[in-house]
Amino acid sequence: MPDTSTVAEATQTPVYADDVSELDPSQRGNDPLLHVEHLVKEFPVSSSIFRRGKKRSVHAVNDVSFDIYPEETFGLVGESGCGKSTTGRCLMRLINPTSGTVVFNGEDVSNMKGKQLKGLRHDMQYVFQDPYASLNPRMTIGELISEPMYIHNEGGTNEERIDTVRQLLKVVGLNPEHINRYPHEFSGGQRQRIGIARAFALHPKLIICDEPVSALDVSIQAQVLNLLDELQQEFGTAYLFIAHDLSVVQHISDRVAVMYLGSICEMSDWRSLYAEPCHPYSQALLSAVPVADPDLQRSRERIILAGDPPSPIDPPSGCLFHTRCPIAQEICSKEKPELREIEPGHFCACHFAKPFPIEGSSIKL
């Protein structure tokens, strides 16, 4: 575990805050709200009786570092199983990280206990992916949304709490009269609004949105994203927005990080990442986004990756992506590329990183 002096140092020297031109001026030079450094999470794989010996483990999160600044939205994209959700859960200590530092609001999260941990879970909230599973079916909407207030003994008397719940329901676009209804009486989109209202009940500084819209259909997705956007304007909350859908992330994020096999391979403000992705994996991902023009869609050149992602139980040597990379060279299988700054505020972990505009992209920049 790192001692407190390095923690303090780390929080005092934000690496690139001054260079990020895209950031809102008020955010420039701010200390990061959340500082993650070399976060690692390995899950042990139980060995069978017949194959004793070396302990194997799944490298779910592999040396991830990033910062989140107050009031910004940080998008985390990647395909299924790349460790996005595990990262989010580690930050809240729903899972204990194997190693690494997580500093939230100037305090080290990794070995918090009891009261401190409760405090952390006051200022950081979580919105879950599945709105059908994340609401207790035996509690009314009022009970669900006021629960954080009960747990942290906040919000005054019961009547005041109920008033707060009514206001929150109104804010997220639900009828305050439905306060005594049960979750099964609502649709998926409405339930996700309930989950969001609950996350905002304590006015947290950071909300981890773990694929909050992937379980909803597209028209509802837009509504929920806009709601999140409005709430951010109103309450000044920062989001860590986890998603696998590039267009969703683009819609909401200030900065975006792309994850592959437990590591961040590219991180930048969204404009420069979507306009000129530098990592071959991001390039492939962005070229997979369909183009609205059918002629262009048919004729344009797409980067199609061969094979499946390697098993996180024994990840490849060197660059994690070299087994599927179209521009891999010998060095890639030997040396692991570090996340380095290619342009101000644009980080990429590739030996041959170069800007690569996507032809005919339908994403409006």
- Contacts with other proteins by CB under 8 A lie at 92, 94, 117-118, 121-122, 125-126, 128-130, 133-140, 147-148, 151-152, 175, 177-178, 180-182, 184-185, 195, 198
Q: What is the amino acid identity at position 215?
A: A
Please identify, using beta-carbon distances, which residue of 129 and 283 lies nearer to other proteins. 129
Nearest distance from C-beta of residue 194 to other proteins, angstroms: 11
**DSSP symbol at 38:** E
Please identify, using beta-carbon distances, which residue of 125 and 272 lies nearer to other proteins. 125
Please identify, using beta-carbon distances, which residue of 61 and 145 lies nearer to other proteins. 145
Nearest distance from C-beta of residue 342 to other proteins, angstroms: 36
Asked if 32 and 69 count as a contact pair (C-beta separation under 8 A), the reply is yes
CA-based end-to-end distance of the chain: 42
Nearest distance from C-beta of residue 61 to other proteins, angstroms: 17
* Residues 6 or more apart whose Cβ sits within 8 Å of residue 3: none
What distance lies between CA 78 and its chain's CA centroid? 10
* Residues 6 or more apart whose Cβ sits within 8 Å of residue 279: 258, 265, 266, 321, 348, 349, 350, 353
Nearest distance from C-beta of residue 76 to other proteins, angstroms: 17
Strands 263-269, 346-348: pairing kind: antiparallel
Nearest distance from C-beta of residue 197 to other proteins, angstroms: 13
- Joined tokens for residue 362: 């339908």
Please identify, using beta-carbon distances, which residue of 13 and 116 lies nearer to other proteins. 116
Give the number of other CB atoms < 10 A from CB of residue 232.
Answer: 17
- Joined tokens for residue 219: 């028209």
If you count them, how many residues does the chain have? 365
Please identify, using beta-carbon distances, which residue of 68 and 92 lies nearer to other proteins. 92
Nearest distance from C-beta of residue 73 to other proteins, angstroms: 19
Q: What is the amino acid identity at position 182?
A: Y
Please identify, using beta-carbon distances, which residue of 147 and 343 lies nearer to other proteins. 147
Please identify, using beta-carbon distances, which residue of 117 and 289 lies nearer to other proteins. 117
Nearest distance from C-beta of residue 246 to other proteins, angstroms: 25
Going by C-alpha positions, the residue among 258, 284, 279, 262 that lies closest to residue 270 is 258
